[in-house]
Amino acid sequence: MRTYVYDFSEGDRTQKDLLGGKGANLAEMTRLGLPVPPGFTVTTEACREYLATGSEPPTLAGEVTEALDRLEAVAGRALGEASDPLLVSVRSGAKFSMPGMMDTVLNVGLNDQSVMGLAAVSANPRFAWDSYRRLIQMFAKTVMGVDGDLFSDALDEAVETAGVSGDVELDETSLRELVERFKRIVVEESGEDFPQDPRRQIDMTVLAVFSSWNTDRAKLYRRREHISDDLGTAVNVCTMVFGNLGDTSGSGVCFTRDPATGTTGAYGDYLSNAQGEDVVAGIRNTLSLDEFRQLDSDSYDQLLVNMELLESHYRDLCDIEFTVERGKLWMLQTRVGKRTASAAFRIAVQLVDEGLITIDEALGRVTGAQLAQLMFPQFDLHTPRTTFTHGMAASPGAAVGRAVFDSATAVEWVGRGEKVVLLRKETNPDDLGGMVASEGILTSRGGKTSHAAVVARGLGKTCVCGAADMHVDAEGRCATANGVTICEGDVLSVNGSTGEVYKGELPVGSSPVFCYLEEGLHVALAHADADADTETRELILAVDRVLARADGARRLGVRANADKAPDAERARALGAEGVGLCRTEHMFLGDRRVLVERVILADNPDERDEALKALLPLQRSDFVDLLSEMDGLPCTIRLLDPPLHEFLPDHADLRVRVAVAEARGEADHEGEKLLAAVERLHEANPMLGLRGVRLGLVVPGLFPLQVRAIAEACTQRIKAGGDARAEIMVPLVGSVVELQLIRDEAEALIAEIAADTGVPLEIPIGTMIELPRAALTAGRIAETADFFSFGTNDLTQTTWGFSRDDVEAAFFNDYLEKGVFSVSPFETIDIDGVGELVRLASERGRETHPGLHLGVCGEHGGDPESIHFFDEVGLDYVSCSPFRVPIARLEAGRSSILNR
């Protein structure tokens, strides 16, 4: 029979699937002998059954009763008894950390009788009533669905009535009155009394935590983090220890290293006379761990010992929650801590140098997405600026946007194209939508472990929190600091690396990591040394070491999509090993467009030949420049592949032109001729019309012009001592016959040029696989192709039947909301559909042609998750935009390491 409840003493950290991350780590700390309050975990299996059927498993209530009996025996107290009550916390705990997304209730077991017993046994009536009001507030909001603002408002009124500065100064009488007020709110809003039966409190809370798996904020977080909706959450029931028992008690959150920068040393926040939720919620500004040491050196010393043990045991940065109850330290949670991108690279290399992990493990712990964040621009601090406020640098980056004061406004404004910065006193889980939408987050309360800081780091968002001199008036839609007022809509610049916030828009410059990637290690280090910036120096060196290992480990080559010589130059500087896609249609923009138009619309061969003759030297020069920049590396040049309408005069403009001439009684023979030609060639769906190989077969001389230009450019480079390695790619092939016709013509032309110049030419000819038919008939096409390059943008469109320019705005958000997609198939390869075509075409192609070279040149070539798939399928290279080349290099290396 399946077991749904496990004591903390029964599990370990390997059981995250069953016990959730929090339960597994509580069990691990218990196993290590750390001071963990006893408790038990209700498994994710119980949650999944409840969510699937609407009712709890039949045996769950009995198992919880047995676990409570064991807990009461260990504690020597009974749940909610009147004289000396056992109280528990009930917390969520999914397999993957989802900070603040699901629900927690503390002090479960208190009621009108047991609060008296707690007051007596603690000799602190104020503490007992404070604990009771917290239970009612959390329980009513989480379990009974009462608006949490009603309790916050009542608390603020109680503070104001008592004439004190905060809730910690409310006396016993005020708290008694507040409890009664809270209970009235519960009845008024829910129609039910606050439950007095402690066991009913537990049962209701467990089911509420299960249900919180499907809240909007939890689902939004999972979509963003690509966490499956099927996992469910465990529930942890833990003996309460109290940080709000007076000045010798308190609660804190700490990290074994700085999660924002990666700097070694203990970092964290502590609040005396407070429960853990106060620290995370950011409703009071916290003390540093150094200040905690001055308050309680014994607990601080023991905490450091435990932190060192946990980091050595987990071999990673640990995020730890703890409580001190009258001088006794308790460990309430640990997990591998979320960190910023810069911290991820620095910590990974630090742990290598400390002998805790290998360089391969370090490579596995950083991601292409994190490297991309480090490449983002940063503020140019040499320009004049007006400081608005300063807070804790909680999550780095440079964010510029218009100030908004609530989550809904942030989402609304971003939806209409604005960039925003979200200003709050403190954030809570309901703010997730606005945090996702915003460029940056700024709060007046909280520390580096507050909700705002932790979630922002997880989302990769710029964040400054705890700006204590800033007064936020959410109702008035303004904030004031240092005599400066920011109203909703005013522009702010938030520096998450320094904690500075500026009024107005600050210009941005290149990041130090991008400088390293483009200009080299020595130049980047020289800049860091000139600024005496040791953190940046360490970061650059860390990125260099990890990227070097990735390059050494990867099997997959990395090329760049580059249409012109400057693009190729930048790509090579960023580590590209060739050009995987040169889109020649981009060479015909501007003044050259009319020449292609003349080729397509020519009435006779002479007109067409004249236009082609004018294009030839321009194309040849383009290819010479491109091959020069990529000397010694392959350059895959795609023959012309525009939708036809892109090179024709605008149909509407021509109709107006002809109509105006007719109205004036004038003859516009050229306009009439062009209009007739455009109407003859008009297409209802140009993306599936006369383009690619079809254009080359229908318009005489067009593809031969390009082949000649490529061959002559190679000849010119070889004669100059260069090493030209051009490859010709034929686009939009659906039939082997199409490719064979183009290949025969191209090979004859290349042979002719080689004979005329005396320069041997070896120019591979291959095709893009971007149509389902091409993928399905890849075995036959491979007989005529030297290589395949998967054009996954068009392959996605033609497989799904999507017009990308139309569908993304039309219904993709609905599809993401409804779970049709977990991510856009244009961002990450659709493995089950498009990916299966890539796999099938690769297998069939190599069955026919074992030496067939395979690559990908769509947007997916720079997507981290897609790169792992392409490596697994056995492609030889990916090609992406120049700026994503370092990301692709890193992910290709990670793929080799992680998939051994």
Question: Catalytic positions, please?
Answer: 451, 857
End-to-end CA distance of the chain: 37
Distance CA 370, CA 340 (A): 8
- DSSP one-letter string for 144-200: S---HHHHHHHHHHHHHHHT-SSGGG--HHHHHHHHHHHHHHHHHHHSSPPP--HHH
Query: 243, 275 in Cβ contact below 8 A?
Result: yes
Whether 541 contacts 534, CB under 8 Å: no
If DSSP codes are grouped into helix, strand and coil, which group holds residue 763?
Answer: coil
Spatial distance between the Cα atoms of 224 and 229, rounded to a whole number of angstroms: 12
Q: What is the DSSP code string of 232-274?
A: -EEEEEEE---S-SSTT-EEEEEEEE-TTT--EEEEEEEEET-
Burial of residue 508 (CB within 10 Å: 0-12, 13-18, 19+) is middle
Q: Which long-range contacts (CB under 8 A, 24 or more apart) does 331-336 make?
A: 331/29, 331/34, 331/35, 331/36, 331/306, 332/36, 332/37, 332/238, 332/241, 332/276, 333/22, 333/25, 333/26, 334/25, 334/28, 334/29, 334/310, 335/21, 335/22, 335/25, 335/97, 336/97
Tokens 């693009």 locate to 567
Q: What share of the chain is helix, strand, coil (3-state, %, to 5)?
A: 50, 15, 30
Q: Phi then psi for 620, rounded to 5 degrees? A: -60, -45
- Angle at alpha carbon of residue 605, lines to 601 and 609, rounded to 5°: 85
Burial class (CB in 10 A: 0-12, 13-18, 19+), 865: middle
637 SS3 class: strand
Q: For residues 710 and 726, is the Cβ–Cβ distance under 8 A? A: yes
Distance CA(324)–CA(479), nearest Å, equals 36
Q: How far is CA 121 from CA 30, 173, 293, 324, in A?
A: 27, 19, 28, 18
Element (H, E) at 21: helix 16-31
Query: Nearest to residue 485, comparing CAs of 496, 476, 495?
Result: 476
Give the span between the Cα atoms of 106 and 276, in whole angstroms: 9
Enumerate the β-bridge partners of residue 880: 560
Q: What are phi and psi of 720, to 5 degrees?
A: -85, 5
Return phi, psi of residue 557, to 5°. Answer: -75, 160
> Edge-to-edge, what's the strand order for the sheet holding 233-239?
5-7, 39-42, 233-239, 88-94, 104-108
Q: Which helix (H) or strand (E) segment is 856 a member of? A: strand 853-856
How far apart are the C-alpha atoms of 870 and 856, rounded to whole Å?
Answer: 8
DSSP class of 79? B
Q: How many CB atoms lie within 10 A of CB 523?
A: 12
What is the spatial distance between Cα 134 and Cα 170, in angstroms, rounded to a whole number?
13
- CA dihedral sign, ordered 559, 562, 568, 571: negative
